[in-house]
Amino acid sequence: MKREHKQVLMALFIAFIMVASAVGFALLRNTPIGGQQTPTFPNVVERVLSNEERLYILRSGKSLIEFLYPENCTGCFEKRGIYERFVTSPEFKDYVVLETAVGENVTADWIVMAYTGDQISLEHVNSTEDLMKIFCDSSVVKPNICILEEV
């Protein structure tokens, strides 16, 4: 009888360890690493991002349009409008973030693709259709509108 009693206790102990480890893993999975909150970014960021912020955006699966222009730029507001309409459109808002700012001696006009890190110049983009074509041709993860265009 004592041997059966020990076996039952051992089985209960093993079951307890299994359940406790599953609960512990679930709690650790939902806890941010180091107690840090994961940053969230709007579709349009009106400042220069740090390298860590750029990496976070790209690692989250979103592409990044970097549009930095000098203060005396004449056609930049029109181009910025094209980029803003693109990244805030319902089709692309979950796929692209726009970084835009006025800077001295700094210019950038390209899109960095998520997953591949490819940097594609946007110098000759004149419409959201041009931008959509570049994005759909280069992106690894495509929104439904890109897939429909391919068909």
Q: Which residues pair with 17 in a beta bridge?
A: none
Distance CA 6, CA 69 (A): 76
* 14-30 confidence digits (pLDDT tens): 988 988 888 887 777 66
Task: Specify the pLDDT at position 60.
Answer: 87
**Beta strand 96-102 pairing with 63-69:** parallel
How many helices and strands (H and E) does the chain possess?
5, 5
75: which residues sit within 8 A by CB, 6+ positions away? none
Task: Specify the pLDDT at position 31.
Answer: 59
Distance CA 143, CA 114 (A): 13
- Overall average pLDDT of the 128-136 stretch: 91
- SS3 of residue 71 by DSSP: coil
Q: Answer whether 0.75 is exceeded by the pTM.
A: no
* 23-82 confidence digits (pLDDT tens): 887 777 665 555 555 667 888 999 988 899 998 888 888 999 999 888 888 888 899 999
